[in-house]
Structure 1
Amino acid sequence: MPIARLPVASIIIPAHDAADFLGEALNSCLAQTLSDIEVIVVDDGSRDGTWDILTEAATSDRRIHPLRRPVAGGPGAARNAGLDLATGRWIAPLDADDLFLPDRLERLVAQSEALQADLVADNPERRAYASGRRLGSLLPPGGSPTTGGVPLSLLQLVQGDMPDQSAETKLGYLKPVFRRNFLVDLGLRYAEDIRVGEDFLFLFECLARGGRCHLLPDLGYVYRVRDGSLSNSEAGALPLSLANRRLFGLVPPGADPALSALLRRRQRLIDFDCFAFEIARRRPGAALRHVHWGGPGHALRQLRLVVGAARRRLGGQPRWDSDLRQS
């Protein structure tokens, strides 16, 4: 009996109420110039027509493998379920509302193996979901100091994903492909109790556990910006705070002290956003859980925020000034 050949790459798509855009994501997978793939789509407790679209697509292309979770467990749980089924040498995560450019996997697999990397990320292109208008790329033209033959360090990763930098340039939006054996050998999994920032936490742990990650300047992943997504909302700061706290426990022994200092600053900035969000919701007790008593100046900024939020609520004005979050 012939031995079944394993695919080169496993694409994993978590899908929750994704009927409006899942078909486009699937088409971008099936159009890959690397055809030796499997597409594992995890319907994470959808209440719309996601499952119907998925099962119909699977009947027309045997590379699509549907999995249904009756209760939504979040993106981390859905990705882990996909990892359990994946058989490809490389794991390629794709969000259900995003796209792959046609030659993405062929390029990344070839470059990953040439570099002997454990994970490789290309340059995401941002597009408006509704209009398709191009909004620019994450990395600057020609790449960045972290692209090329030198692996990305933990310090560079955190430097590139600080809350006070432009969202358009944050490395947290990278979507690497991962060597499956690397993930399996180390037992790496996504956090299932965090709904925003779980992919950055996963990437940080990969590097902290010795993973060699390379950034490439080529465009390949299309990140579509949708209004109303949790990652683009003010409420997203709350799970980000929890995710960042877990990073401290992953810092390897002997790491550059600058890394821990930067993580502390990142925590203060995220928690200031959490504080502002809870004040706007009129939840002062919850807001106090995010206070960092870092001296008179920091306390004064938070007091100004409370007063300003109260005035704006009475006057129907915006809830807070963005410059108050600077440290």
Structure 2
Amino acid sequence: MSLNKPLVSIVTACYNSEKYISDTINSVLNQTYQNWELLLVDDCSTDASISIIRSFEKADKRIKVYKLTENSGPAVTRNKAIKEAKGRFIAFLDSDDRWLPDKLEKQIAFMLAKGYSLTHTGYELIDESGKTLNKIIRPTTVLSYNDMLYSNKIGCLTAVYDQKQLGKIYMPLLLKRQDYALWLKILKTGEKAYGLSEILSQYRKTESSLSSNKINLIRWNWKLLREVENMSFIKSAYYLTCNIVLKLKS
């Protein structure tokens, strides 16, 4: 490990993730970029998740486990990890997804070379068993706040922000779509999000995935536009309609 490489803090919220969490953690352990800390926050799981992640914590001092005292949802859970983060870079990895081995190496180099404060990458979809679904999501090269109002074009498992440039930025307290709200919060300041055009992550599509529940997705997008972005009914309806149309085309 090269000590002159900036520390990356990886945020992973965990809730009843016993089926996939080992795969997720191993994808971090297998990174070619080794100067990281993995902040796992358990949201009062009722399965074996906490014992699994504790076993990894005992084996590697870079892995740090926190347990909430009451079930609070992913925004509170992720914000706990952000609060505890000591790294320059804040990265996100959900407890059922995984990274390819050179994900951090390539993305951090990209950010340092270009001076970018928020980046994302391409990713592929896999099924519950980890097999490819032969669907690739390509990143948009440059995204502004206005671009992102039409739809969330940043996969949470691919996003990294530089807190040296931005400071610590926390997720709005939405039960769903809080990652989308975070990107909008950053971009609203005038920052841009930049896409690294490589496939470096794998998104596991499960029955409980929000993306597989279209009605739920629409409802939470509406809540985000109206209550977090404080948009008028007409503007919210416009952007929500655009979002639905874009989803139907994808």
Bin for the TM-score computed over the shorter chain? 0.7 to 0.9
* Residue in 2 that maps onto 1:171: 153
Aligned 8 A contact 1:42 1:79 in 2? yes
> Secondary structure at 2:33's aligned position in 1?
coil
* Residue in 1 that maps onto 2:240: 267
Call closer, same or farther: CA 1:267–1:104 in 2, change over 3 Å: same
The unaligned stretches of length 5 or more in structure 1 are 162-169, 251-259, 274-321
* Residue in 2 that maps onto 1:240: 221
Offset of residue 249 of structure 1 = 3.7
Please provide the CA RMSD for this pair: 2.8
Call closer, same or farther: CA 1:181–1:249 in 2, change over 3 Å: farther
The unaligned stretches of length 5 or more in structure 2 are none
Alignment of 1:1-327 (within 5 A): 8-130=7-129, 132-139=131-138, 146-147=140-141, 151-159=142-150, 161=151, 171-174=153-156, 175-184=158-167, 188-192=169-173, 194-233=174-213, 234-246=215-227, 248-249=229-230, 263-268=236-241
What is the aligned-residue identity percentage?
23
Give TM-score scaled by structure 2 length. Answer: 0.87
In structure 1, how many angstroms separate the alpha carbons of the residues matched to 2:199 and 2:144?
A: 21
Offset of residue 195 of structure 1 = 2.1
Structure 1 residues 167-199: Cα deviation after superposition (integer angstroms, max 9, x where no partner):
xxx615353101023442xx521022x222111
Call closer, same or farther: CA 1:5–1:16 in 2, change over 3 Å: farther
> Secondary structure at 2:143's aligned position in 1?
coil
Larger Rg: 1
> Secondary structure at 1:171's aligned position in 2?
coil
In structure 1, how many angstroms separate the alpha carbons of the residues matched to 2:52 and 2:6?
A: 23
Equivalent residue letter for 1:189: Y
Offset of residue 13 of structure 1 = 0.3
In structure 2, how many angstroms separate the alpha carbons of the residues matched to 1:47 and 1:183?
A: 36
Structure 1 residues 240-267: Cα deviation after superposition (integer angstroms, max 9, x where no partner):
22112245448xxxxxxxxx98754123
Equivalent residue letter for 2:149: V
> Secondary structure at 2:221's aligned position in 1?
helix
Give TM-score scaled by structure 1 length. Answer: 0.67
Call closer, same or farther: CA 1:213–1:71 in 2, change over 3 Å: same
Aligned 8 A contact 2:37 2:62 in 1? yes
> Secondary structure at 2:120's aligned position in 1?
strand
Q: Which moved more, 1:204-213 or 1:116-125?
A: 204-213
Aligned residues: 242
Aligned 8 A contact 1:18 1:96 in 2? yes
* Residue in 2 that maps onto 1:297: none
Aligned 8 A contact 1:196 1:231 in 2? no
Offset of residue 9 of structure 1 = 0.4
